Amino acid sequence: MKSFVKITAGFLAVVIISAFISYSIAGFNIEKVKGFSVTDRGSTYQKLKWKSNQNVSGYKLYQRNVNSNEYTLIATVNSEKTTEFTVKDLDMESFYTFKICAFKSFLGYEKTGEFSKVVETFTLPRGENIEKVSEERVSSLTVSWTCGINCTGYEIEYALNDDFSDAKVIDIPKRTTLSYRIDNLQKGKTYNFRLRSYIAQGEDKFYSDYCESLSATVKAVADDVEIDETKPVIALTFDDGPDFSGASKRILDVLEKYNIRATFFTVGENAEKNPENIKRKVSLGCEIGNHTYDHSHYGSDVKKSDITKCSDVIQKITGSRPTVFRSTGGMTTQTIKNVCKKEGMSIYYWSIDTRDWESRNAKKIIKKAMTAKDGDIILMHDIYQSTADAVEKIVPRLLKKGYQFVTVSQLVKLKTDSAPVNGVQYMSGSKTK
Active site residues: 239, 381
Nearest to Zn ion of 128, 382 (CB atom): 382
Candidate ranges 118-126, 231-239, 352-360, 361-369; the one touching Zn ion (CB under 5 A): 231-239
Nearest to Zn ion of 155, 356 (CB atom): 356
* 198 DSSP β-pair partners: 153, 207
Give me the least distance between CB of 265 and Zn ion, in Å please.
Answer: 7
Q: Which of 240, 256, 356, 376 binds Zn ion (CB under 5 A)?
A: 240
Nearest to Zn ion of 47, 360 (CB atom): 360
**CB hemisphere CA count around 80 (13 angstroms):** 9
Candidate ranges 77-85, 102-110, 233-241, 418-426; the one touching Zn ion (CB under 5 A): 233-241
The count of residues interacting with Zn ion (CB under 5 A) is 2
- Among positions 242-271, residues that touch Zn ion (CB under 5 A) are none
According to the binding rule CB under 5 A, does residue 306 interact with Zn ion? no
> Angle at Cα 366 formed by Cα 360 and Cα 367, nearest 5°?
105
Give me the least distance between CB of 240 and Zn ion, in Å please.
Answer: 4
Cα 62 to the center of its chain, rounded Å: 43
Nearest to Zn ion of 239, 253 (CB atom): 239
CA distance 348 to 351: 10
**Continuous segment of H or E residues that includes residue 17:** helix 2-26
Q: Which of 239, 253, 306, 356 binds Zn ion (CB under 5 A)?
A: 239
Give me the least distance between CB of 413 and Zn ion, in Å please.
Answer: 25
DSSP state of 304: H
* 381 DSSP β-pair partners: 239
Cα 140 to the center of its chain, rounded Å: 10
Three-state helix/strand/coil letters over 236-280: EEEECCCCCCCHHHHHHHHHHHHCCCCEEEECHHHHHHCHHHHHH
Candidate ranges 125-133, 240-248, 344-352, 395-403; the one touching Zn ion (CB under 5 A): 240-248
Nearest to Zn ion of 98, 348 (CB atom): 348
Give me the least distance between CB of 311 and Zn ion, in Å please.
Answer: 16
Candidate ranges 63-71, 112-120, 125-133, 239-247; the one touching Zn ion (CB under 5 A): 239-247
Cβ neighbours for 52, distance < 8 A, ≥ 6 positions apart = 80, 81, 83
CA distance 325 to 344: 10
* 172 DSSP β-pair partners: 154
Give me the least distance between CB of 351 and Zn ion, in Å please.
Answer: 17
In the bound state, the residue with its beta carbon closest to Zn ion is: 239
Nearest to Zn ion of 155, 239 (CB atom): 239
Other Cβ atoms within 10 Å of 360 Cβ, number? 14
Candidate ranges 27-35, 235-243, 311-319, 397-405; the one touching Zn ion (CB under 5 A): 235-243
Q: Report the chain's terminal Cα–Cα distance, integer Å.
A: 138
Where are the strands (E) in 35-172, listed by range? 37-41, 46-49, 58-64, 71-77, 84-87, 95-106, 109-112, 119-122, 130-134, 141-145, 153-159, 168-172
Give me the least distance between CB of 327 and Zn ion, in Å please.
Answer: 8
Residues lying near Zn ion in the complex (CB under 5 A) are found at: 239-240
